[in-house]
Structure 1
Amino acid sequence: MTNRLAPIKLDSYQPLREVVCESLREAIRNGVLKPGERIMEIQLAEELGVSRTPVREAIRKLELEGYVVMMPRRGTYVASMSIRDINEIFEIRTALESLSNGLAADHITDDELEHLQRLLVIIGGYIKEGNIEKIVETDIEFHDLMYHAARNERLVGIISNLRDQLTRFRTLSMSYPGRLEETLDEHRLIVEAIANGDRKAASKAAERHMENSEKTLLKAMEALEREKKSKAKKAKK
Protein backbone atom coordinates (compact mmCIF):
# COMPACT_ATOMS: atom_id res chain seq x y z
CA MET A 1 0.00 0.00 0.00
CA THR A 2 1.36 3.44 -0.96
CA ASN A 3 1.01 5.97 1.80
CA ARG A 4 -0.62 9.23 0.77
CA LEU A 5 -0.63 10.70 4.27
CA ALA A 6 2.47 11.57 6.29
CA PRO A 7 2.83 9.76 9.63
CA ILE A 8 1.76 11.82 12.62
CA LYS A 9 4.55 13.40 14.67
CA LEU A 10 3.91 12.58 18.29
CA ASP A 11 5.77 15.60 19.67
CA SER A 12 2.81 17.97 19.31
CA TYR A 13 1.33 19.67 22.38
CA GLN A 14 -2.17 19.11 20.94
CA PRO A 15 -4.29 16.05 21.78
CA LEU A 16 -3.65 13.26 19.28
CA ARG A 17 -7.23 13.35 18.00
CA GLU A 18 -6.80 17.04 17.11
CA VAL A 19 -3.54 16.39 15.25
CA VAL A 20 -5.17 13.53 13.33
CA CYS A 21 -8.21 15.67 12.58
CA GLU A 22 -6.08 18.48 11.17
CA SER A 23 -4.08 16.02 9.07
CA LEU A 24 -7.25 14.54 7.56
CA ARG A 25 -8.78 17.98 7.10
CA GLU A 26 -5.75 19.16 5.15
CA ALA A 27 -5.76 15.97 3.06
CA ILE A 28 -9.37 16.68 2.06
CA ARG A 29 -8.70 20.37 1.40
CA ASN A 30 -5.71 19.55 -0.80
CA GLY A 31 -7.49 16.79 -2.72
CA VAL A 32 -5.37 13.94 -1.36
CA LEU A 33 -8.60 12.41 -0.09
CA LYS A 34 -11.01 13.10 -2.93
CA PRO A 35 -14.75 13.91 -2.89
CA GLY A 36 -16.77 10.69 -2.85
CA GLU A 37 -13.82 8.58 -1.70
CA ARG A 38 -14.57 6.06 1.03
CA ILE A 39 -12.82 6.65 4.37
CA MET A 40 -11.30 3.47 5.80
CA GLU A 41 -10.34 3.80 9.47
CA ILE A 42 -7.84 0.95 9.46
CA GLN A 43 -6.02 2.22 6.36
CA LEU A 44 -5.85 5.80 7.64
CA ALA A 45 -4.61 4.63 11.05
CA GLU A 46 -1.83 2.64 9.38
CA GLU A 47 -0.79 5.54 7.16
CA LEU A 48 -0.78 8.01 10.05
CA GLY A 49 0.92 5.57 12.41
CA VAL A 50 -1.75 5.81 15.11
CA SER A 51 -4.49 3.60 16.57
CA ARG A 52 -8.04 3.60 15.20
CA THR A 53 -9.46 5.49 18.19
CA PRO A 54 -8.10 9.00 17.36
CA VAL A 55 -8.97 8.41 13.70
CA ARG A 56 -12.55 7.52 14.65
CA GLU A 57 -12.80 10.61 16.89
CA ALA A 58 -11.39 12.82 14.13
CA ILE A 59 -13.87 11.47 11.59
CA ARG A 60 -16.78 12.29 13.90
CA LYS A 61 -15.55 15.86 14.19
CA LEU A 62 -15.03 16.15 10.43
CA GLU A 63 -18.61 14.98 9.92
CA LEU A 64 -19.85 17.87 12.08
CA GLU A 65 -17.71 20.26 10.03
CA GLY A 66 -19.15 18.94 6.78
CA TYR A 67 -15.97 17.36 5.44
CA VAL A 68 -17.24 13.77 5.53
CA VAL A 69 -20.62 12.04 5.50
CA MET A 70 -21.44 8.86 7.40
CA MET A 71 -23.96 6.65 5.60
CA PRO A 72 -25.69 3.83 7.58
CA ARG A 73 -24.56 0.37 6.44
CA ARG A 74 -22.45 1.90 3.66
CA GLY A 75 -19.57 3.58 5.47
CA THR A 76 -17.98 7.02 5.62
CA TYR A 77 -17.12 9.10 2.57
CA VAL A 78 -15.40 12.38 1.79
CA ALA A 79 -18.23 14.85 1.26
CA SER A 80 -18.89 15.87 -2.31
CA MET A 81 -19.79 19.48 -2.95
CA SER A 82 -22.73 20.12 -5.28
CA ILE A 83 -23.67 23.43 -6.86
CA ARG A 84 -26.56 23.59 -4.43
CA ASP A 85 -24.19 23.08 -1.49
CA ILE A 86 -22.01 25.93 -2.73
CA ASN A 87 -25.04 28.19 -3.21
CA GLU A 88 -26.25 27.47 0.32
CA ILE A 89 -22.84 28.05 1.90
CA PHE A 90 -22.36 31.35 0.09
CA GLU A 91 -25.90 32.46 0.92
CA ILE A 92 -25.22 32.03 4.64
CA ARG A 93 -21.66 33.26 4.49
CA THR A 94 -22.63 36.43 2.61
CA ALA A 95 -25.05 37.39 5.37
CA LEU A 96 -22.49 36.65 8.09
CA GLU A 97 -19.60 38.39 6.30
CA SER A 98 -21.83 41.45 5.94
CA LEU A 99 -22.56 41.40 9.66
CA SER A 100 -18.91 40.76 10.56
CA ASN A 101 -17.56 43.62 8.43
CA GLY A 102 -20.21 45.97 9.80
CA LEU A 103 -19.16 45.12 13.33
CA ALA A 104 -15.49 45.51 12.38
CA ALA A 105 -16.23 49.06 11.21
CA ASP A 106 -17.45 49.78 14.75
CA HIS A 107 -14.80 47.94 16.75
CA ILE A 108 -11.52 47.69 14.82
CA THR A 109 -8.42 49.11 16.50
CA ASP A 110 -5.83 51.33 14.84
CA ASP A 111 -3.25 48.54 15.01
CA GLU A 112 -5.62 46.06 13.34
CA LEU A 113 -6.48 48.55 10.63
CA GLU A 114 -2.81 49.20 9.95
CA HIS A 115 -2.24 45.44 9.80
CA LEU A 116 -5.08 45.02 7.25
CA GLN A 117 -3.62 47.77 5.07
CA ARG A 118 -0.17 46.19 5.28
CA LEU A 119 -1.61 42.82 4.23
CA LEU A 120 -3.16 44.43 1.15
CA VAL A 121 0.29 45.62 0.08
CA ILE A 122 1.75 42.16 0.71
CA ILE A 123 -1.00 40.45 -1.30
CA GLY A 124 -0.44 42.92 -4.14
CA GLY A 125 3.23 41.94 -4.19
CA TYR A 126 2.42 38.22 -4.31
CA ILE A 127 -0.03 38.83 -7.17
CA LYS A 128 2.77 40.43 -9.20
CA GLU A 129 4.96 37.41 -8.44
CA GLY A 130 2.17 35.00 -9.31
CA ASN A 131 2.69 33.21 -5.99
CA ILE A 132 -0.73 31.56 -5.50
CA GLU A 133 0.29 29.66 -2.37
CA LYS A 134 1.35 32.84 -0.57
CA ILE A 135 -1.69 34.74 -1.85
CA VAL A 136 -4.02 32.12 -0.39
CA GLU A 137 -2.09 32.06 2.89
CA THR A 138 -2.16 35.85 3.25
CA ASP A 139 -5.79 36.08 2.16
CA ILE A 140 -6.74 33.74 5.01
CA GLU A 141 -4.79 35.94 7.44
CA PHE A 142 -6.55 39.02 6.06
CA HIS A 143 -10.03 37.57 6.58
CA ASP A 144 -9.17 36.15 10.01
CA LEU A 145 -8.05 39.59 11.16
CA MET A 146 -11.31 41.17 9.95
CA TYR A 147 -13.38 38.49 11.68
CA HIS A 148 -11.63 39.06 15.00
CA ALA A 149 -12.03 42.82 14.61
CA ALA A 150 -15.79 42.23 14.80
CA ARG A 151 -15.33 41.30 18.48
CA ASN A 152 -17.81 38.40 18.31
CA GLU A 153 -16.16 35.03 18.88
CA ARG A 154 -19.25 32.96 18.07
CA LEU A 155 -19.53 34.72 14.74
CA VAL A 156 -15.85 34.03 14.05
CA GLY A 157 -16.36 30.32 14.69
CA ILE A 158 -19.38 30.02 12.43
CA ILE A 159 -17.83 31.94 9.52
CA SER A 160 -14.56 30.02 9.82
CA ASN A 161 -16.43 26.72 9.63
CA LEU A 162 -18.28 27.79 6.47
CA ARG A 163 -15.07 29.09 4.91
CA ASP A 164 -13.27 25.83 5.68
CA GLN A 165 -15.90 23.88 3.76
CA LEU A 166 -14.89 25.75 0.60
CA THR A 167 -11.13 25.83 1.21
CA ARG A 168 -10.54 22.99 -1.26
CA PHE A 169 -11.80 25.31 -4.03
CA ARG A 170 -9.85 28.42 -3.03
CA THR A 171 -6.90 27.90 -5.38
CA LEU A 172 -9.23 26.99 -8.26
CA SER A 173 -11.22 30.19 -7.77
CA MET A 174 -8.20 32.47 -7.37
CA SER A 175 -6.52 30.98 -10.43
CA TYR A 176 -9.45 32.08 -12.63
CA PRO A 177 -8.28 34.81 -15.06
CA GLY A 178 -8.53 38.29 -13.56
CA ARG A 179 -9.89 37.17 -10.19
CA LEU A 180 -6.79 38.01 -8.15
CA GLU A 181 -6.84 41.66 -9.20
CA GLU A 182 -10.61 41.86 -8.65
CA THR A 183 -10.26 40.35 -5.19
CA LEU A 184 -7.59 42.87 -4.22
CA ASP A 185 -9.80 45.77 -5.37
CA GLU A 186 -12.73 44.34 -3.38
CA HIS A 187 -10.56 44.01 -0.30
CA ARG A 188 -9.42 47.61 -0.66
CA LEU A 189 -13.03 48.81 -0.73
CA ILE A 190 -13.78 46.78 2.39
CA VAL A 191 -10.80 48.18 4.28
CA GLU A 192 -11.62 51.73 3.15
CA ALA A 193 -15.19 51.41 4.47
CA ILE A 194 -13.99 49.93 7.77
CA ALA A 195 -11.35 52.66 8.11
CA ASN A 196 -14.08 55.27 7.66
CA GLY A 197 -16.21 53.59 10.31
CA ASP A 198 -18.95 53.24 7.69
CA ARG A 199 -20.83 50.17 8.85
CA LYS A 200 -23.31 50.17 5.94
CA ALA A 201 -20.61 50.53 3.28
CA ALA A 202 -18.49 47.80 4.90
CA SER A 203 -21.43 45.42 4.90
CA LYS A 204 -22.25 46.16 1.26
CA ALA A 205 -18.62 45.74 0.23
CA ALA A 206 -18.56 42.34 1.94
CA GLU A 207 -21.73 41.27 0.12
CA ARG A 208 -20.29 42.25 -3.26
CA HIS A 209 -17.07 40.40 -2.48
CA MET A 210 -18.95 37.21 -1.58
CA GLU A 211 -21.25 37.44 -4.60
CA ASN A 212 -18.30 37.87 -6.96
CA SER A 213 -16.39 35.06 -5.23
CA GLU A 214 -19.32 32.68 -5.74
CA LYS A 215 -19.75 33.65 -9.40
CA THR A 216 -16.05 33.16 -10.07
CA LEU A 217 -15.95 29.78 -8.33
CA LEU A 218 -18.89 28.49 -10.36
CA LYS A 219 -17.28 29.73 -13.60
CA ALA A 220 -13.99 28.07 -12.64
CA MET A 221 -15.78 24.79 -11.88
CA GLU A 222 -17.58 24.91 -15.23
CA ALA A 223 -14.30 25.56 -17.03
CA LEU A 224 -12.63 22.67 -15.20
CA GLU A 225 -15.49 20.34 -16.09
CA ARG A 226 -15.25 21.33 -19.78
CA GLU A 227 -11.51 20.67 -19.68
CA LYS A 228 -12.06 17.22 -18.16
CA LYS A 229 -14.64 16.31 -20.82
CA SER A 230 -12.33 17.55 -23.58
CA LYS A 231 -9.45 15.43 -22.28
CA ALA A 232 -11.74 12.41 -21.98
CA LYS A 233 -12.82 12.77 -25.60
CA LYS A 234 -9.24 13.05 -26.80
CA ALA A 235 -8.26 9.98 -24.78
CA LYS A 236 -10.95 7.93 -26.54
CA LYS A 237 -9.63 8.82 -30.00
Structure 2
Amino acid sequence: MPNDGTLRVTPQPVRRQVEERLREAIVNGRFAPGEHLSDRMLCDLFGVSRSVIREAVRLMEAEGLVEVVPNRGPFVSYLSPADAMQVYEVRGVLEALAGQGFAERASDAEMAELRAVFEEIAASRAGADRVGLLGLKRRFYDVLLRGCRNAYVARMLDQLLNRNTQLRATTLADPDRLPHTIEEIRRIVEAIERRDGEGAWEACREHVRQAARVALRILNQQAREKAEAGRAQAAE
Protein backbone atom coordinates (compact mmCIF):
# COMPACT_ATOMS: atom_id res chain seq x y z
CA MET A 1 0.00 0.00 0.00
CA PRO A 2 1.43 3.45 -0.91
CA ASN A 3 2.50 5.84 1.88
CA ASP A 4 -0.32 8.28 1.06
CA GLY A 5 -2.87 5.78 2.35
CA THR A 6 -4.51 5.10 -1.01
CA LEU A 7 -5.16 1.56 -2.17
CA ARG A 8 -3.05 0.25 -5.01
CA VAL A 9 -5.32 -1.12 -7.73
CA THR A 10 -3.88 -3.94 -9.82
CA PRO A 11 -4.71 -3.42 -13.50
CA GLN A 12 -7.24 -5.89 -14.85
CA PRO A 13 -4.80 -7.24 -17.49
CA VAL A 14 -2.44 -8.32 -14.69
CA ARG A 15 -5.23 -10.20 -12.93
CA ARG A 16 -6.16 -11.93 -16.17
CA GLN A 17 -2.54 -12.87 -16.81
CA VAL A 18 -2.26 -14.45 -13.36
CA GLU A 19 -5.54 -16.32 -13.85
CA GLU A 20 -4.37 -17.65 -17.22
CA ARG A 21 -0.95 -18.65 -15.91
CA LEU A 22 -2.41 -20.39 -12.86
CA ARG A 23 -4.94 -22.24 -15.01
CA GLU A 24 -2.19 -23.30 -17.41
CA ALA A 25 0.02 -24.49 -14.53
CA ILE A 26 -2.80 -26.66 -13.23
CA VAL A 27 -4.03 -28.15 -16.49
CA ASN A 28 -0.48 -28.79 -17.77
CA GLY A 29 0.46 -30.66 -14.61
CA ARG A 30 2.84 -28.06 -13.12
CA PHE A 31 0.70 -28.39 -10.01
CA ALA A 32 -0.39 -31.98 -9.43
CA PRO A 33 -3.84 -33.07 -8.20
CA GLY A 34 -3.97 -32.75 -4.42
CA GLU A 35 -1.12 -30.22 -4.27
CA HIS A 36 -1.49 -27.36 -1.79
CA LEU A 37 -1.55 -23.89 -3.39
CA SER A 38 -0.38 -21.65 -0.57
CA ASP A 39 -0.72 -17.88 -0.90
CA ARG A 40 2.96 -17.36 -0.17
CA MET A 41 4.12 -19.83 -2.82
CA LEU A 42 1.83 -18.38 -5.49
CA CYS A 43 2.72 -14.78 -4.60
CA ASP A 44 6.41 -15.61 -4.97
CA LEU A 45 5.85 -17.54 -8.19
CA PHE A 46 3.75 -14.89 -9.96
CA GLY A 47 5.18 -11.79 -8.29
CA VAL A 48 1.80 -10.29 -7.36
CA SER A 49 -0.14 -9.43 -4.21
CA ARG A 50 -2.11 -11.87 -2.10
CA SER A 51 -5.40 -10.24 -3.12
CA VAL A 52 -4.69 -10.95 -6.82
CA ILE A 53 -3.78 -14.56 -6.01
CA ARG A 54 -6.97 -15.06 -4.02
CA GLU A 55 -9.09 -13.70 -6.89
CA ALA A 56 -7.39 -16.13 -9.28
CA VAL A 57 -7.90 -19.04 -6.88
CA ARG A 58 -11.60 -18.19 -6.53
CA LEU A 59 -11.97 -18.32 -10.31
CA MET A 60 -10.16 -21.67 -10.48
CA GLU A 61 -12.49 -22.96 -7.76
CA ALA A 62 -15.52 -21.87 -9.82
CA GLU A 63 -14.07 -23.75 -12.82
CA GLY A 64 -13.61 -26.90 -10.73
CA LEU A 65 -9.81 -26.87 -10.97
CA VAL A 66 -9.26 -25.96 -7.30
CA GLU A 67 -10.91 -27.14 -4.11
CA VAL A 68 -10.75 -24.91 -1.02
CA VAL A 69 -10.63 -26.98 2.16
CA PRO A 70 -11.81 -25.16 5.32
CA ASN A 71 -8.93 -24.27 7.67
CA ARG A 72 -6.41 -25.74 5.22
CA GLY A 73 -6.64 -23.60 2.09
CA PRO A 74 -6.77 -24.29 -1.66
CA PHE A 75 -5.67 -27.55 -3.26
CA VAL A 76 -5.60 -28.68 -6.88
CA SER A 77 -8.75 -30.70 -7.42
CA TYR A 78 -8.39 -34.45 -7.59
CA LEU A 79 -10.44 -36.20 -10.24
CA SER A 80 -11.79 -39.51 -9.03
CA PRO A 81 -12.46 -42.27 -11.58
CA ALA A 82 -16.20 -41.55 -11.24
CA ASP A 83 -15.65 -37.83 -11.90
CA ALA A 84 -13.44 -38.63 -14.87
CA MET A 85 -16.06 -40.93 -16.38
CA GLN A 86 -18.63 -38.13 -16.25
CA VAL A 87 -16.19 -35.68 -17.84
CA TYR A 88 -15.51 -38.10 -20.70
CA GLU A 89 -19.21 -38.80 -21.24
CA VAL A 90 -19.93 -35.10 -21.73
CA ARG A 91 -16.75 -34.46 -23.70
CA GLY A 92 -17.58 -37.29 -26.11
CA VAL A 93 -20.86 -35.70 -27.16
CA LEU A 94 -19.54 -32.14 -27.34
CA GLU A 95 -16.43 -33.14 -29.28
CA ALA A 96 -18.53 -35.16 -31.74
CA LEU A 97 -20.74 -32.12 -32.32
CA ALA A 98 -17.67 -29.96 -32.88
CA GLY A 99 -16.16 -32.45 -35.33
CA GLN A 100 -19.39 -32.75 -37.28
CA GLY A 101 -19.87 -28.99 -37.36
CA PHE A 102 -16.30 -28.46 -38.53
CA ALA A 103 -16.70 -30.98 -41.34
CA GLU A 104 -19.87 -29.29 -42.54
CA ARG A 105 -19.08 -25.60 -41.98
CA ALA A 106 -15.35 -24.91 -41.73
CA SER A 107 -13.57 -23.00 -44.47
CA ASP A 108 -10.88 -24.58 -46.63
CA ALA A 109 -8.31 -22.40 -44.85
CA GLU A 110 -9.43 -23.73 -41.46
CA MET A 111 -9.22 -27.29 -42.76
CA ALA A 112 -5.66 -26.62 -43.90
CA GLU A 113 -4.85 -25.15 -40.49
CA LEU A 114 -6.27 -28.20 -38.71
CA ARG A 115 -4.25 -30.51 -40.97
CA ALA A 116 -1.07 -28.51 -40.24
CA VAL A 117 -1.51 -28.82 -36.47
CA PHE A 118 -2.24 -32.53 -36.84
CA GLU A 119 0.99 -33.02 -38.81
CA GLU A 120 2.89 -31.48 -35.90
CA ILE A 121 1.20 -33.90 -33.52
CA ALA A 122 1.93 -36.80 -35.88
CA ALA A 123 5.61 -35.87 -35.90
CA SER A 124 5.78 -36.33 -32.12
CA ARG A 125 7.52 -39.37 -30.74
CA ALA A 126 7.17 -41.35 -27.52
CA GLY A 127 9.00 -39.54 -24.74
CA ALA A 128 8.35 -36.12 -26.29
CA ASP A 129 7.91 -33.13 -24.03
CA ARG A 130 4.52 -33.52 -22.32
CA VAL A 131 3.84 -29.80 -22.06
CA GLY A 132 4.63 -29.40 -25.76
CA LEU A 133 2.26 -32.21 -26.69
CA LEU A 134 -0.50 -30.75 -24.53
CA GLY A 135 0.05 -27.41 -26.25
CA LEU A 136 -0.34 -29.01 -29.68
CA LYS A 137 -3.55 -30.75 -28.63
CA ARG A 138 -4.82 -27.42 -27.29
CA ARG A 139 -4.06 -25.75 -30.65
CA PHE A 140 -5.90 -28.55 -32.46
CA TYR A 141 -9.00 -27.95 -30.37
CA ASP A 142 -8.74 -24.18 -30.74
CA VAL A 143 -9.01 -24.60 -34.52
CA LEU A 144 -11.76 -27.23 -34.21
CA LEU A 145 -13.88 -25.03 -31.93
CA ARG A 146 -13.44 -21.96 -34.11
CA GLY A 147 -14.37 -23.79 -37.30
CA CYS A 148 -17.35 -25.74 -35.97
CA ARG A 149 -19.42 -22.51 -36.05
CA ASN A 150 -21.39 -23.40 -32.92
CA ALA A 151 -20.75 -20.89 -30.15
CA TYR A 152 -22.55 -22.95 -27.51
CA VAL A 153 -20.59 -26.12 -28.23
CA ALA A 154 -17.35 -24.12 -28.39
CA ARG A 155 -18.01 -22.42 -25.04
CA MET A 156 -18.99 -25.59 -23.19
CA LEU A 157 -16.27 -27.77 -24.67
CA ASP A 158 -13.60 -25.12 -24.10
CA GLN A 159 -14.41 -25.01 -20.38
CA LEU A 160 -14.55 -28.79 -20.18
CA LEU A 161 -11.18 -29.13 -21.93
CA ASN A 162 -9.53 -27.18 -19.10
CA ARG A 163 -10.73 -29.92 -16.76
CA ASN A 164 -9.92 -32.63 -19.27
CA THR A 165 -6.33 -31.52 -19.81
CA GLN A 166 -5.50 -32.98 -16.41
CA LEU A 167 -6.81 -36.29 -17.73
CA ARG A 168 -4.97 -35.82 -21.01
CA ALA A 169 -1.73 -35.47 -19.04
CA THR A 170 -2.64 -38.73 -17.29
CA THR A 171 -3.09 -40.62 -20.55
CA LEU A 172 0.27 -39.32 -21.81
CA ALA A 173 1.84 -41.16 -18.88
CA ASP A 174 1.04 -44.37 -20.80
CA PRO A 175 4.01 -44.90 -23.17
CA ASP A 176 1.83 -46.84 -25.62
CA ARG A 177 -0.89 -44.20 -25.92
CA LEU A 178 0.70 -41.64 -28.30
CA PRO A 179 0.70 -43.76 -31.52
CA HIS A 180 -2.97 -44.61 -30.96
CA THR A 181 -3.80 -40.96 -30.28
CA ILE A 182 -2.16 -39.96 -33.57
CA GLU A 183 -4.13 -42.55 -35.56
CA GLU A 184 -7.41 -41.57 -33.89
CA ILE A 185 -6.87 -37.90 -34.70
CA ARG A 186 -5.83 -38.83 -38.24
CA ARG A 187 -9.23 -40.45 -38.74
CA ILE A 188 -10.94 -37.30 -37.44
CA VAL A 189 -8.98 -35.08 -39.83
CA GLU A 190 -9.53 -37.36 -42.82
CA ALA A 191 -13.30 -37.51 -42.20
CA ILE A 192 -13.38 -33.73 -41.91
CA GLU A 193 -11.44 -33.31 -45.16
CA ARG A 194 -14.02 -35.50 -46.89
CA ARG A 195 -16.73 -33.19 -45.50
CA ASP A 196 -18.12 -36.33 -43.86
CA GLY A 197 -19.98 -34.97 -40.85
CA GLU A 198 -21.22 -38.38 -39.69
CA GLY A 199 -17.75 -39.89 -40.04
CA ALA A 200 -16.20 -37.00 -38.10
CA TRP A 201 -18.81 -37.47 -35.37
CA GLU A 202 -17.98 -41.15 -34.97
CA ALA A 203 -14.20 -40.61 -35.20
CA CYS A 204 -14.41 -38.00 -32.40
CA ARG A 205 -16.52 -40.29 -30.23
CA GLU A 206 -14.07 -43.16 -30.73
CA HIS A 207 -11.09 -40.93 -29.85
CA VAL A 208 -12.76 -39.91 -26.58
CA ARG A 209 -13.80 -43.50 -25.79
CA GLN A 210 -10.21 -44.72 -26.16
CA ALA A 211 -8.81 -41.82 -24.13
CA ALA A 212 -11.35 -42.58 -21.38
CA ARG A 213 -10.36 -46.25 -21.35
CA VAL A 214 -6.68 -45.43 -20.75
CA ALA A 215 -7.31 -42.63 -18.25
CA LEU A 216 -9.74 -44.68 -16.18
CA ARG A 217 -7.34 -47.62 -16.04
CA ILE A 218 -4.59 -45.34 -14.71
CA LEU A 219 -6.88 -43.48 -12.29
CA ASN A 220 -8.30 -46.71 -10.89
CA GLN A 221 -4.78 -48.00 -10.33
CA GLN A 222 -3.82 -44.75 -8.59
CA ALA A 223 -6.94 -44.95 -6.42
CA ARG A 224 -6.06 -48.51 -5.39
CA GLU A 225 -2.48 -47.52 -4.55
CA LYS A 226 -3.72 -44.52 -2.54
CA ALA A 227 -6.15 -46.72 -0.59
CA GLU A 228 -3.44 -49.30 0.10
CA ALA A 229 -1.06 -46.58 1.29
CA GLY A 230 -3.78 -45.24 3.59
CA ARG A 231 -4.39 -48.67 5.07
CA ALA A 232 -0.67 -49.24 5.59
CA GLN A 233 -0.30 -45.86 7.30
CA ALA A 234 -3.26 -46.58 9.56
CA ALA A 235 -1.75 -49.93 10.54
CA GLU A 236 1.54 -48.40 11.68
What is the TM-score of this pair, normalised by structure 1?
0.79
Deviations 1:150-194 (A, max 9, x none): 012332221111111122332331241332111111111111211
- Cα separation, partners in 2 of 1:193 and 1:32, compared to 1, 3 Å: closer
> Are 2:180 and 1:182 equivalent residues in the alignment?
yes
Deviations 1:50-93 (A, max 9, x none): 22221121112111111112345664332111111101111111
> Are 2:214 and 1:219 equivalent residues in the alignment?
no
Shift in Å, 1:28:
2.4
Give 1:36's match in structure 2, choosing from 34, 37, 48.
34
Shift in Å, 1:200:
1.3
> Aligned to 2:67, what secondary structure does the other structure show?
strand
Count of matched residue positions in the alignment of Structure 1 and Structure 2: 219
Structure 2 partner of 1:10: none
Structure 2 partner of 1:139: 137
- Cα separation, partners in 2 of 1:120 and 1:40, compared to 1, 3 Å: closer
Separation in 2, partners of 1:167, 1:41? 24
Counterpart code for 1:80: Y
Counterpart code for 2:165: T
1:71-150 matched pairs, under 5 angstroms: 71=69, 75-127=73-125, 130-150=128-148
Counterpart code for 1:44: L
8 Å contact 1:126–1:134 — kept in the other structure?
no
8 Å contact 2:114–2:143 — kept in the other structure?
yes
Alignment RMSD: 2.8
Tell me which moved more, 219-228 or 140-149: 219-228
> Are 2:63 and 1:59 equivalent residues in the alignment?
no
Shift in Å, 1:226:
7.6
Separation in 2, partners of 1:131, 1:28? 17
Structure 1 partner of 2:189: 191
8 Å contact 2:126–2:175 — kept in the other structure?
no
Structure 1 partner of 2:169: 171
Separation in 2, partners of 1:39, 1:128? 31
Structure 2 partner of 1:45: 43
8 Å contact 2:29–2:169 — kept in the other structure?
no
Shift in Å, 1:199:
1.4
> What stretches of structure 2 of length at least 5 have no aligned partner?
1-10
Separation in 2, partners of 1:134, 1:33? 16
Shift in Å, 1:30:
4.3
> What stretches of structure 1 of length at least 5 have no aligned partner?
1-12
> Aligned to 2:123, what secondary structure does the other structure show?
helix
Give 1:160's match in structure 2, choosing from 158, 161, 186.
158
8 Å contact 2:103–2:191 — kept in the other structure?
yes
| Structure 1 stretches of at least 4 aligned residues deviating more than 6 Å after TM superposition | 225-230
8 Å contact 1:120–1:188 — kept in the other structure?
yes
Taking only the aligned residue pairs, the percentage that are identical comes to 32
Counterpart code for 1:174: L
8 Å contact 1:126–1:132 — kept in the other structure?
no
Structure 2 partner of 1:203: 201
Shift in Å, 1:223:
5.5
Deviations 1:133-152 (A, max 9, x none): 43332222112211111012
